[in-house]
Chain A
Amino acid sequence: METYCPFLKDEKMAFCKGFPVRKMLPYDRLYHQDNICIKEEHLTCPVYRAKDAERLSGHSSNKKVCPYLEVEEVLFCEVYPVKKMIPSSAFKLECPCTTEAYIDCPAYCQIAQGDRASGETMTVRGFLLDDTVYYHRGHLWLQRVNGKVRLGLDDFGQWLLGDIDKISFPRRKEHVERNKPLLRIRCSHGTAEIASPLSGTLMNANEEVRRDTSLINTDPYGAGWLVELRLAEAELDRLEQGGEGFIATPGARRWLEDEIDRLHGVLETEIGITMSDGGQLIDTLRDVVTQSQWGILIKTFLEN
Chain B
Amino acid sequence: MKKDTYIDIHIIGEADTVIGLREVEETIRKEFRSATKISRSTINPENFYDPSRKQYHSTKILKEMLDELPADASKMIGIISHDLFIPILTFVFGEAQLDGNVGIVSFARLQQEFYGLPPNQALLQRRLIKEIKHELGHTFGLIHCSLRECVMSVANNIADVDAKGSTFCEGCNELLRRSQKGQ
Contact = CB atoms under 8 A, between A and B. Distances in A.
Listed residue (A254, A264, A281) with the most chain B CB atoms within 10 angstroms of its CB: A264
B100 A276 contact: no
Interface in A278-293: 278-282, 285, 288-289
A281 B91 CA distance: 9
B144 A271 contact: no
A301 to B, nearest CB: 13
Contact of A1 (B93, B97, B102, B171): B171
Interface in A246-304: 254, 257, 261, 263-265, 267, 269-282, 285, 288-289
A74 B126 CA distance: 35
B177 interface: no
Interface in B141-163: 143-149, 154-157, 161, 163
Contacts of B146: 100, 103, 254, 257
Interface in B80-102: 85-98, 100, 102
Contacts of A274: 59, 62, 86, 95-98, 100, 138
B87 A288 contact: yes
A284 B86 CA distance: 14
Interface in B13-28: none
B109 interface: yes
B89 A282 contact: yes
Contacts of B148: 6, 112
Contacts of B95: 274-277
Contacts of B62: 271, 274
B58 interface: yes
B155 A277 contact: yes
B179 to A, nearest CB: 14
Contacts of B96: 274-276
Contacts of B161: 277
A273 B143 CA distance: 11
A126 interface: yes
Given A269-B59, A271-B100, A279-B89, A261 B144 contact: yes
A276 B86 contact: yes
B152 to A, nearest CB: 9
Interface residues of A, number: 32
Given A2-B169, A274-B96, A274-B98, A257 B88 contact: no
* A2, A6, A271, A278 interface centre (most CB from chain B within 10 Å): A278
Interface in A109-134: 112, 125-126
Given A6-B148, A257-B144, A278 B92 contact: yes
Contacts, number: 110
B123 interface: no
B100 A278 contact: no
B88 A263 contact: yes
B69 to A, nearest CB: 11
A257 B160 CA distance: 15
A9 B96 CA distance: 36
Contact of B155 (A257, A278, A289): A278
Contact of B147 (A2, A271, A275): A2
A189 to B, nearest CB: 15
Contact of B63 (A103, A263, A270, A278): A270
Contacts of A125: 154, 156
Interface centre among A271, A273, A277 (most CB of B within 10 A): A277
19 contacts: A1-B171, A6-B147, A112-B148, A112-B163, A257-B146, A267-B88, A270-B59, A272-B98, A274-B98, A274-B138, A275-B143, A277-B93, A277-B155, A279-B90, A279-B156, A280-B89, A280-B156, A281-B88, A289-B87
Instruction: State the 7 A-B residue pairs at the shortest beta-carbon distance, nearest first.
Output: A1-B171, A278-B93, A279-B89, A288-B87, A276-B95, A279-B90, A276-B92
Given A277-B94, A278-B93, A278-B94, 14 more contacts: A100-B146, A126-B156, A271-B63, A271-B97, A274-B62, A274-B100, A275-B138, A277-B131, A278-B157, A280-B90, A281-B88, A282-B88, A288-B88, A289-B88
